[in-house]
Amino acid sequence: MYKRILFTVLATVMVVFAMSGCGKKDSVSFDTVEQARAQARDNAGYNAQVFRANSPQYQEYNVQNNGDSTQTNECPQGDGWASLKLVHPRNVNTIIKIKCSTVSQGIGCLTEDEFKTKSTYSREDGNCQPVEKVPFPLPKLSGK
């Protein structure tokens, strides 16, 4: 009887420990990280379209999406930021660099200069964020 209770307690402790995120983080498959990259690009692109639509000075610009470069097999959620460019259609040398959230419509996009002034955001850029901050799998953003 005591062995059964001890076994149950130990098994429970092991499951809780495993689920707590302690230890080396497992990596995901290539296909999974590719799906995450596609979702991040879609989300950033959506936010860029909203940003452009709400900014009269950029409405005619084309959007070039470079995605979230921190997404890897060990960090499929990335840092939560994608780099994009707004390119003037008649003068391709006129480029506005923007950073767009890959997970939040509320944050949306910021020009690169404005992004640099936001210390919380700029510290996140380039650094894998925990899933409590940038969820995995990434949510799909849409105009609900």
For the chain, how many structural domains are there in total? 1
Q: Give per-residue pLDDT as tens, 24-49.
A: 457 999 999 999 999 999 999 999 99
Domain residue limits at 91: 29-124
Query: Does 83 fall in a domain?
Result: yes
Task: Quickly list H helices, 20-102.
Answer: 30-53
Q: Give per-residue pLDDT as tens, 96-141.
A: 999 999 999 999 999 999 999 999 999 999 999 999 999 999 999 9
Question: Which amino acid does the sequence have at 107?
Answer: I
The average confidence (pLDDT) of the chain is 86
Residue in the block written with tokens 């020009």: 111
What is the phi/psi pair of residue 138, to 5°?
A: -65, 140
Query: Does 34 fall in a domain?
Result: yes
Does 72 or 15 have the greater pLDDT score? Answer: 72
Pairwise CA distance, residues 70 & 101, whole Å: 13
What is the number of residues in the chain? 144
Pairwise CA distance, residues 10 & 23, whole Å: 18
Confidence of residue 7 (pLDDT cuts 50, 70, 90): very low
Strand partners of residue 82 = 100
Neighbour count for residue 32 (Cβ, 10 Å): 14
In the three-class reduction of DSSP (H, G, I as helix; E, B as strand; rest coil), residue 36 is classed as helix
Query: Does 90 fall in a domain?
Result: yes
Query: Does 136 fall in a domain?
Result: no
Q: What angle do CA 39, 116, 53 make, to 5 degrees?
A: 55
